[in-house]
Chain A
Amino acid sequence: MITHRSIGTAIASILIVISLGANAHAESAEQRAAEDALASWDIPEAEQIVARLNAGAPGDAKNLFLTGHLHLMKGDYQQAVDYLGQSVHASADPLAAHYFALAKATLEETSGYTRHLTADGNFLISYPPGVDAVLVPYAEDTMARAWKALTKILDYTPERPVRIEIYPTVDVLGAVSPLTVAEIRTSGTIALCKYNRLMITSPRDLVYGYDWLDTLAHEFIHLLITKKSHNNVPIWLHEGLAKYYEVKWRDVPPTLDRQSEALLAQAITDDKLITFEEMSPSMAKLPSQEATATAFAEVYTVIEFLNKRHGSDVAAPLVAAMGSGESDREAVSKVAGMPFDRFGRSWKAFLKQQGYRPRDLAYDQRLLFKGKHSEQDELAELKVDKAKELVWLGDQLRLKKRWKAASKEYRRATEFVGELSPLVQGKLGLALLRTGALEQAAAELLKPIALYPRHVVLQVYLGEALVKMGRYEEAREHLEEALTINPFDPDVHGNLAIVYDQLGEHDRAAAERKAHQLVNAQ
């Protein structure tokens, strides 16, 4: 689910290298310098060099390509299409053709988008007109906090504004990036930091949404790392840093969720930890969402381990070291204060000391994509056939609004899967909520929430139950958490408006009512 610098950069780099090799005789040092600047996302530098190149030979195919590439990185898609198109005409360079197709697709997909410059001027958010506008205020708030926290941690401030593009579906993300829709769905990679911008899929393309605000922060970390290191950080460290620090905007210490712990424990037990090499060139190329999640958990613990050894945040020195040309092994050795091989052994020992325990989870939480996954897929997450059947029966009763009967079937299902299945508890909680058994509903919903805090359904229903019980402070916590996963549920906004009003925050209540209206109109 969590994102990373994608394979596209690697492919592009390889292609560039091949291209360079093939056309070495035709390239000037200045052109190579422009390529380097573009590869390290140093846009001001690239702009200067490209301007000089164009002053000398504006019609040169390579110069046209570099100019088009520069515009793509700057977000001037029309210009990018024009220049890259001319370059393709002039040279039939496959790399130019690749970038031309990419720029064209991006232009087509984003041409009608609305643009919003955040109040601090740090981010320019583009989004399709319509209901996705509901994301903007939350994104702005989060990114303002992320800017403050993360630029400090990485000791680096990028040029402003940083561009964020929100796409309505994964199909669009697939069209504007080198990832295929199948890869996106398989690995759960629904956001990217690439071509000098942050790209995320709207949570509305997923059945339950996803932790999109953490993901935005995550991608922002990638951008900072890429720029600061001149794109010299390998993928495993990139992802480790991004994963570890992605929650820093919330002003809470990073923690590994229980599911990731379980995955790690299983991998340690089976001796099937994913190697750092396997994580390259992209986490998105890993064969399953489970493998991707395990890899993320691993790299997270690497940073955790380094921080503990170093005694403070290692992000800035680590990235700076690689930015100055050191390899990942050298940089890690430096901040860890030990040779890399020993570091590897120490890290594994550290992992074993953590006491992670594999859990026989009755429910595999993973992203469910609209159009790909059906209700059956959701039910298939349950591992016990009898429980599946009872939940199915409960659902049929629920469709007939026979809530009491439905709650009985769901409760029977818990006899087979326990009371920690977020799917069953969520359904049971809702059925009880609708029968008016608020206390019982809240109690049932609370049971799995520690293990599955990102299961939005639990947060939404629990928030609703607490609102109905008049426990507004508690409700706020759950409803705001739900917003960070799926802000397209109108009930969340409706209940939050009540909560804010009750707590005297009338401006926020008004904003939530507006969001409620917008989402309801979808």
Chain B
Amino acid sequence: MGIESPDSYQVWSAQEIPPYMEPYERITRFLREVRRALNRVSLGEAALAALAILGVATVAALALAAALGLGPGRWGWAAIGLGLVGAGIALWRLWLRPRGRRAADDELALWVEERIDGLQSGLVTAVQTRAMVAAPDARPLGFSATLAREAAAQTSRGIAEVIPRTLPERRRLKRLLGVAAGVGACMGLLAVATPELYTEGGALLVAAPEEEALADGVRLVPVAMSQLNLEIVPPEYTGIKPRKLDRSAGDFEALAGSEVRFAGTALYDAKEAYLALESDPEGRWALDLSADGAVKGAFRVGASDRYQFVLVDKQGATIHEKAWRSVDSRSDAAPEVELLLPESDLEVKPDDQLSFFFEASDDYGLDRVELVIEDETGHELDRHVVRSPRGERLSRGDEGVAVARLELEPGDSAELHFEAFDLNSLSGPGIGKSASRRITLYSPEAEHDRLLEDLDRLIDRMIDVLADRLESPIEAKETLRLANYVATGQGINAATLRLVADMTTLVNGFSTDALVSDELRTALREVRERQQEIADQEGAHLRRSVLGTANVEDDVMVMLLFEANNEGASELESGVLRLHKLLDESRKDSVLDAGRELLETQNEIMDLLKQLKDTKDPKALEAAMKKLKKLQEKLAKLQQELDKLRERAPYENQNATRRPSDNQKSMADMKSTMDKIQELLAEGKVDEAMKLLEELGKNTQELMAALQNDLDAGGSMSAAARQKAQEFSTKLDELADGQRGLKGETGELDRQIDERQARELQEQAKQALEGAKQQARELREQLDGVDDQPLHPSDRDALEQLREDAAALEKEIARGDVGKAAELAQKVAKQAGALKAEVHESEERELDQRRLDGLKAGGDKLGEGEGKAEQLAETLEGLKPKPGEGLEPGEQGEAQRLSERQGELGKKLSELEGALKELDKDMPGLQQEMGEPLEQAGKAMGEAKGELDGQRPGEANGKQQEALEHLEKAQQSMQQRMQQKGGGGDEQQTGINDPKAKVDIPEEDPYAAPRTFREEVLKAMKERAPDKYRDAIQRFYEELIK
């Protein structure tokens, strides 16, 4: 049904409206107002949507422009264009199209009737009948005009109360308002946060493209070169054939280093042609351009880039291509190398031979594979080629390494890895590196430390079990709770058995540990056995209780379990204490060992620095630096040992802030001194470094003295026992010193007597000696006359020795030393006899007649020589003075005096043996250890006295030497025991004794160190020590004495 537009309505002025038309007029006005309201709302919606779209588009455009930069940035306008399109669509969809729909009154009336109840199509009817009612003559009415008017009047009354502006739905308007506001806010925020987005983006949007900024005389063309043919020649080392790309657009991918040859035709009449790279916009590479426009050139591919051709025409104008052609450079990947075996780090022994397996690969072929060995700091110890595949892409193999070659010290480590090199001769070979394996040279010390750590953990677990036992509920001894006790007991029993298993493991470990003391080994074994017994016994009770096989009442079983638990706790207590004590002692030893190592290393460094100073040898510097590193490690080790030694015991109060101990501070200072020494050496300041090293040495001495003091303070011996041990040691030293002095004096007396007798003999028995001399000469000639050719090689050697002895005999006779000469003559006789027997044996085996004759002759001559030697020995014996017979009264007196002294020393030794028995109570096992050497010393001293009494100082001297050796052995044992017990004697350990320094001993006072101790200190100073520590030593002893 066609609807007329409102324009076609007859319009009356207010005065002209006939009364019957008034309802229609009101309806028309109502609809008009509704339309206006609707249009306003839809216009608002459209405007807000358009604004939001345009806002987003603007931001997008600015962002795009900023991102793309000058020129391409103008693509941002596309976003704006899209925005405008979007805005247009929004206007159309939200405003224009609905507006058009609302233009017809009947459509609008329908829309209104949907929203207002009770109109009952009156509004539509009124709209449709209005024209007919207004002009009834125009067409016949199909209904009653009155009825229509009445209906319109009713409808007009129905809408009288309706306010047209309330009809439009405004929810979308509000939503869009929110969106637009949001967009606006975002834009505002962006303006604040990144104002450059607007300024720069805007500028880029409107700026002219770069091309347009080119100077006059430049033409931009889409393409300047056609029929472009490329030939890509990969680097020679790859062995890959060249590749051709005919009629290419110019884009290609190639291996870095490839040579690219190209040919094409210039599309413009040009006089010059160039190549330009995007990465170097100013650069131009001239190309061959022939008259017919053919262009040729080449370049080498480096990094990825873009290029284009540039022509210069006859007029001198430059023709640029608009587009770039891309070169995608592919780099030659480094080789890959894998260390296949061993799969993990190794602990090795010095004579081990190791094999390392590798697999290496490379995309264009391997050049070589090398094995690299580095020390812990990364310094290369060795590097050598293990394979040279020369272009193969895969290589596998192994390489042997002798540990000895690495010159590692126990505990030292080295890192090994393979490196594979490719053939890249252009940018240098690519290098692939495998994973590393660490090899550590087995160190008994490290192993010992590990076992001690295990022992520490074991003690900790023992304390856990002890706690369980002490807190066991069984102490309540309630029969009714037997089941509960059994359950708890089983848990504790199982834990005890685990302890026993751990102890067994440790016992096994200690069995191969040469550094552990026998005492600790035994203690651990005994503690384990005791725990095993307890666990067995307790386990038996528990089993019987669980199985119900116990033939005792519950109360008895509770008692049995209680007793077993108590016994277990008691044994654990004593076991923990015993092992802890021994562990502590072992750690103290470790601390002192670490300190000694520290000092030794300092000595070595000092020697190296002296060498460096004298020779400027860089190797000495390198060695010194290496030693310094070792020194730092040793200091760290010392620190570590000290930390382990620190008791885990709580202070009662929470005065919590800890401060480093004096020793810790000293060590920190020492560490910084070491760093400083390293710096100085690196700067070549050797003198200053030496000075600092000396200072370091002094500090180390002081630290060791302090540590020794600390360790002694917590030592296991009582003060009285220490004093006793010290006194014993002093007396033993005195005795050894006495014996040493006596031996010297006896030797001197013997020498004097010998010399005098020789002089006298020479005078008195000149003739006799002349005879002996003659005999000796004959003997020598006799031996010289033996043909050594037929003799067996060993016999030849013996003959040679015999001749030498005969010559020596001759000389001794010439010197007049009858005693020695007689001894030599006897020796020669004996040797000649033995050799003769050997020669006769050879005769029996010899088949060659000529050689047999030679042997027989030789044997005979030796026999004669033997006889002559015996005769000579007899002669000489006859010339020797009888014991005491040749001694002058003074010498006899001296021998007697020495004998008495020897007797006194023997008495002292007896006293010491008595004291040893006493001391053994404090130092169990000492008598067993020292008893024998002291006994032997006593025996030798007694024999020496006997010889002196018999006026035979020469013989006595030999016995005295024997006694002295036994005494020194005893001294050594004592010293070791003192060290173990922390009872002093450390002076020798630290090597810090200066024999020359003088130290004033203060007067005795009640608070000073005991006199014996001070004397001991002085005695210790007689020991030798490096000169450079003299000052430190002096201070050290002065401190000790104070």
Taking beta carbons and an 8 Å cutoff, which residues of A are in contact with B? 131, 169, 203-209, 287-288, 291, 370-372, 374-380, 389, 392-393, 395-400, 402, 404-405, 408-409, 423, 426-427, 430, 456-457, 460, 486, 488-491, 522
B651 close to A396 (CB less than 8 A): no
The 8 Å CB contact of B649, one of A203, A205, A392, A408, is A392
B470 close to A404 (CB less than 8 A): yes
B471 close to A405 (CB less than 8 A): yes
With an 8 A cutoff between CB atoms, is B665 at the interface?
Answer: yes
With an 8 A cutoff between CB atoms, is B573 at the interface?
Answer: yes
- Which A residue's beta carbon lies closest to that of B584? A376
A207 close to B471 (CB less than 8 A): no
Which stretch of B422-430, B459-467, B887-895 is in the interface? B459-467
A374 close to B647 (CB less than 8 A): yes
Known: A371-B662, A372-B662, A405-B466. A287 touches B1007 (CB 8 A): yes
Which of B464, B470, B580 has its CB near the most chain A CB atoms (within 10 A)?
A: B470
Minimum CB–CB distance from B765 to chain A (whole Å) comes to: 73
Known: A380-B713, A389-B577. A399 touches B662 (CB 8 A): no
A395 close to B470 (CB less than 8 A): no
Chain B 662-719 residues near chain A, CB threshold 8 A? 662, 665, 713-714
A486 close to B653 (CB less than 8 A): yes
B714 close to A380 (CB less than 8 A): yes
| A258–B501 alpha-carbon span in the complex (Å) | 53
With an 8 A cutoff between CB atoms, is B215 at the interface?
Answer: no
Chain A positions within 8 Å of B1007 at CB level: 287-288, 291
Chain B positions within 8 Å of A379 at CB level: 647, 649
B653 close to A397 (CB less than 8 A): no
B713 close to A522 (CB less than 8 A): no
The 8 Å CB contact of B471, one of A376, A404, A486, A488, is A404
A372 close to B470 (CB less than 8 A): no
A397 close to B651 (CB less than 8 A): no
Can you list 10 pairs linking A and B with CB atoms under 8 Å apart?
A371-B665, A372-B661, A377-B713, A393-B576, A396-B463, A396-B576, A399-B650, A400-B464, A405-B466, A489-B655
Chain B positions within 8 Å of A400 at CB level: 463-464, 467
A375 close to B649 (CB less than 8 A): yes
With an 8 A cutoff between CB atoms, is B657 at the interface?
Answer: yes
- Which B residue's beta carbon lies closest to that of A288? B1007
- Which A residue's beta carbon lies closest to that of B648? A399
The 8 Å CB contact of B655, one of A206, A375, A380, A399, is A206
B646 close to A371 (CB less than 8 A): no
| A370–B573 alpha-carbon span in the complex (Å) | 31
A208 close to B655 (CB less than 8 A): yes
With an 8 A cutoff between CB atoms, is B659 at the interface?
Answer: yes
Known: A371-B665, A405-B471. A522 touches B657 (CB 8 A): yes
Known: A375-B647, A404-B470, A405-B471. A393 touches B657 (CB 8 A): no
Minimum CB–CB distance from A380 to chain B (whole Å) comes to: 7
Chain B positions within 8 Å of A205 at CB level: 659
A393 close to B463 (CB less than 8 A): yes
| A378–B662 alpha-carbon span in the complex (Å) | 17
A375 close to B659 (CB less than 8 A): no
B646 close to A374 (CB less than 8 A): yes
The 8 Å CB contact of A457, one of B573, B576, B647, B652, is B652
- Which A residue's beta carbon lies closest to that of B1008? A287
Chain A positions within 8 Å of B662 at CB level: 371-372
Q: How many A-B residue pairs have CB under 8 A?
A: 110
The 8 Å CB contact of B650, one of A287, A398, A405, is A398
Chain B positions within 8 Å of A374 at CB level: 646-647, 661
| A342–B556 alpha-carbon span in the complex (Å) | 76
| A397–B463 alpha-carbon span in the complex (Å) | 7
| A488–B471 alpha-carbon span in the complex (Å) | 34
| A370–B470 alpha-carbon span in the complex (Å) | 34
B653 close to A393 (CB less than 8 A): no
Minimum CB–CB distance from B989 to chain A (whole Å) comes to: 22
- Which B residue's beta carbon lies closest to that of A422? B652
Interface of B is mostly: loop
The 4 A-B residue pairs whose C-beta atoms are closest, nearest first, are: A405-B470, A402-B467, A287-B1007, A375-B649
Render B278-292 as a binary contact track against A, CB cut-off 8 A, 1 for contact: 000000000000000
Minimum CB–CB distance from A283 to chain B (whole Å) comes to: 15
The 8 Å CB contact of B654, one of A389, A396, A409, A490, is A490
Chain B positions within 8 Å of A203 at CB level: 655
| A371–B655 alpha-carbon span in the complex (Å) | 13
- Which A residue's beta carbon lies closest to that of B459? A396
Chain A positions within 8 Å of B1 at CB level: none
Chain B positions within 8 Å of A389 at CB level: 577
Known: A288-B1007, A380-B714, A404-B471. A457 touches B659 (CB 8 A): no
Known: A374-B646, A374-B661, A399-B650. A405 touches B467 (CB 8 A): yes
| A398–B649 alpha-carbon span in the complex (Å) | 9
| A76–B471 alpha-carbon span in the complex (Å) | 63
Known: A456-B653, A489-B653. A397 touches B713 (CB 8 A): no
The 8 Å CB contact of B470, one of A392, A408, A457, A522, is A408
With an 8 A cutoff between CB atoms, is B142 at the interface?
Answer: no
Which of A392, A456, A457 has its CB near the most chain B CB atoms (within 10 A)?
A: A392
Chain A positions within 8 Å of B646 at CB level: 374-375
Minimum CB–CB distance from A379 to chain B (whole Å) comes to: 7
B466 close to A393 (CB less than 8 A): yes
- Which B residue's beta carbon lies closest to that of A457? B652
| A379–B76 alpha-carbon span in the complex (Å) | 84
With an 8 A cutoff between CB atoms, is B793 at the interface?
Answer: no
With an 8 A cutoff between CB atoms, is B241 at the interface?
Answer: no
| A398–B1007 alpha-carbon span in the complex (Å) | 38
Chain B positions within 8 Å of A371 at CB level: 659-662, 665
| A342–B464 alpha-carbon span in the complex (Å) | 66
Minimum CB–CB distance from B754 to chain A (whole Å) comes to: 59
Render B621-652 as a binary contact track against A, CB cut-off 8 A, 1 for contact: 00000000000000000000000001111111
- Which A residue's beta carbon lies closest to that of B470? A405
Known: A371-B665, A402-B471, A405-B466. A395 touches B655 (CB 8 A): no
Chain B positions within 8 Å of A209 at CB level: 653, 655
| A226–B659 alpha-carbon span in the complex (Å) | 35
With an 8 A cutoff between CB atoms, is B658 at the interface?
Answer: yes
| A392–B647 alpha-carbon span in the complex (Å) | 9
With an 8 A cutoff between CB atoms, is B656 at the interface?
Answer: yes
Chain B positions within 8 Å of A377 at CB level: 713
Minimum CB–CB distance from A478 to chain B (whole Å) comes to: 14
| A288–B661 alpha-carbon span in the complex (Å) | 21
Minimum CB–CB distance from A280 to chain B (whole Å) comes to: 17
Minimum CB–CB distance from B825 to chain A (whole Å) comes to: 69
Known: A393-B463, A399-B648. A208 touches B653 (CB 8 A): yes
B577 close to A204 (CB less than 8 A): no
Chain A positions within 8 Å of B573 at CB level: 393, 409
Given contact pairs A393-B573, A395-B650, a sample of 17 additional A-B residue pairs in the complex whose CB atoms are under 8 Å apart = A208-B652, A208-B655, A209-B653, A288-B1007, A371-B665, A372-B661, A374-B647, A376-B647, A380-B713, A393-B576, A397-B463, A398-B650, A400-B467, A404-B470, A405-B470, A427-B652, A488-B655
Minimum CB–CB distance from B325 to chain A (whole Å) comes to: 70
Minimum CB–CB distance from B722 to chain A (whole Å) comes to: 14
| A207–B665 alpha-carbon span in the complex (Å) | 18
- Which B residue's beta carbon lies closest to that of A378? B651
Chain A positions within 8 Å of B650 at CB level: 375, 395, 398-399
Minimum CB–CB distance from A281 to chain B (whole Å) comes to: 17
- Which B residue's beta carbon lies closest to that of A394? B649
B656 close to A522 (CB less than 8 A): yes
Chain A positions within 8 Å of B652 at CB level: 208, 423, 426-427, 430, 457
Chain B positions within 8 Å of A399 at CB level: 648-650
B466 close to A397 (CB less than 8 A): yes
Known: A400-B467, A405-B471. A207 touches B651 (CB 8 A): yes
Render B1002-1025 as a binary contact track against A, CB cut-off 8 A, 1 for contact: 000001000000000000000000
Minimum CB–CB distance from A118 to chain B (whole Å) comes to: 26
Render B109-124 as a binary contact track against A, CB cut-off 8 A, 1 for contact: 0000000000000000
